[in-house]
Structure 1
């Protein structure tokens, strides 16, 4: 459930936005309100808002000052600014600070809902990027980024691993395919990639397994086979040793965090 915070010192506007969005949300989102920038900043110290709708002109701390204070704390949530025609310069400054959009008073219900829906798509997009970052092994990203600098033998070794991921790939097998001594390939692989052959192979297999766990409903035993493990028991052990949870728990966690499910 995503949380939306409405910040406006005018009761009629604040409650009107709240009423409209509560009806639209139908329980899918948590709709909170604050009567001032000061109250909003205090609330946000102990609560998370995925989206903020804020008026520009408010006493004590206005909308811009609130956004500046929030940006000093870390990345801003998705922000929609509400302003009057005479306050366009304020709205423009809010957009420069990173606001998603601005709406002019008086607010129309259809425009409000359309803007909020588009903003929630932005929220979901951010969540998906965060989820993808968690899915991808950072060490594998580093290896892939540096691949252009590797010699032909290591490039061929990596390609062979990808092409035979379902098989029982070994260092000796790859070395024979490349017509190299296994000990020499082992040293060369570590020198160029920064990790051992066995560590790289394990990471590649687990990376593929995580992708299948998230993107498909294949049973665990079939995923184990597809990433080269002879028994599901050993696959589960390796997965848990590296990821800190079982494949089934990983799949459930990914499903719980999926922003496309409401």
Structure 2
């Protein structure tokens, strides 16, 4: 059963959240609620929930301050905020928050957010690895050695040096002095994929390397590898690797912690 904590200073909203959801249908249970961030922090430390429903604007300690004190990528967090606070609430993405609900709360949106939170938890659990188990290797690109094409070698070197910028086939045409058709043919012949496919997979592989280092947030990783749209990065990563970047980042964080 999934454990839920609700941290919201407005009692009518807090009690409404508890009463308006048939928690048993979600295989969930509200294990506690709090009226401010400090109480919420103590509650979370004590109850170890799976899901946190968290208001942004609260007395004593606000939602962002609370998130700063919690271990990242540990809970499924659903943020709720007023319209005037929505831009501020987006800062929570730094702490692994992916769900945002605006007041007044829409029941259907809340239900969908809970479904996604539970999916996130299940994916996280399915990829949990104990220290004595075999290492999971995430790989977006297969090694490519001994490529017998000078044109392709030049193209790959250009991608390696500029992957965090916008790259087009015309850029490669200017760099190599060869036609766009020939360049793409070389990608297909020697790598079995188009230029666009290779560029995307190269970027995702770089993202995985940055996750292993453990120094950046996911939105920073997305920007560093050339994705301006964080949500699109999530979609592409999921499609290529088969799981969300949050799961992979959590895995590497656990591995790094065990090795210290």
TM-score with structure 1 setting the length: 0.48
TM-score with structure 2 setting the length: 0.48
Q: Which has the higher contact order (CA 8 A, sep 6+)?
A: 2
Q: Give the number of the structure whose alpha-carbon radius of gyration is greater.
A: 1
